[in-house]
Amino acid sequence: MERFQTQAIDLPGVLGLANGAARLMGMRAIAKPARARCLDNLGESARQTPLVTHERQAAQARGLTSALVSVGGNLRAIGKKPDGSQWTGGVENPWNASEVYTTDSLFGAAINMSDMALVTSGDYQRYFVVDGKRYHHIIDPDTLWPAAYYNGVTVLCPDSGMADCLTTALFCMPLEEGQKLVESLDGVEAMWCTPDKQATTSSGWDSHLKK
């Protein structure tokens, strides 16, 4: 797990949250108390997605037609394996996660991938604990606190940038709203893992599972 440092953490008040949100939205904050910075670890997708896209483009420019690129929670399959079979990916179990991915930490069946991206956002790797409560890095813009709908959301689609943006957006949406959005998008599938340890998938998710 990549827990945030827990020394001297002081949770922000309403003013601190409002100013933190203002800075993230490109607005000028009216005050900048130090405590407002403790939840500002929001740049992961901004770093990972361009890297995965760049690696894919660079590989294809060199004539590479078969590869599997993994950066953090972003998995990108280029073409098929040299033997013609599809690449396979998986979703880490958000309730049994580990620092090293193993078959024991995977959730459900493996997923067939060819020219597809598999991206997960979750609350179980980057977080800190204060007074027994976990605070993760995905902030609900309505509450300005860590989103509490899910433990993990995974998106499968052809574009890694879109998948990365969607996982974060869906993580902050009620389930029915997120399902409606996913079903309206061509070539996009998703899985939602809720705090009651249940998983809900979009209508076409199962068609990508390895038989």
pLDDT along the chain (211 residues), means of 10: 53 66 51 33 44 59 80 86 93 79 76 95 82 82 87 95 92 96 97 96 96 83
The pLDDT value recorded for residue 9 is 66
The pLDDT value recorded for residue 15 is 64
**In the 3-class helix/strand/coil scheme, how is 3-24 assigned residue by residue?**
ECCCCCCCCCCHHHHHHHHHHH
d(CA 120, CA 70): 12
**Burial of 165: CB neighbours in 10 Å, binned 0-12, 13-18, 19+:** middle
d(CA 77, CA 90): 12
Instruction: Give the bridge partners for 19, in sequence order.
Output: none
The pairing of strands 152-157 and 117-122 is antiparallel
CB of 47 closer than 8 Å to CB of 71: no
The pLDDT value recorded for residue 22 is 64
Query: Residue with structure tokens 């995977």?
Result: 106
**Burial of 103: CB neighbours in 10 Å, binned 0-12, 13-18, 19+:** exposed
d(CA 40, CA 208): 35
Here the tokens at position 145 are 């606190």
CB of 116 closer than 8 Å to CB of 158: yes
CB of 71 closer than 8 Å to CB of 49: no
The pLDDT value recorded for residue 119 is 94
The pLDDT value recorded for residue 98 is 67
The pLDDT value recorded for residue 153 is 96
d(CA 128, CA 9): 9
The pLDDT value recorded for residue 20 is 65
Estimate to the nearest angstrom the gap between the alpha carbon of 162 and the chain centroid. 11
CB of 168 closer than 8 Å to CB of 136: no
* Overall size of the chain counted in residues: 211
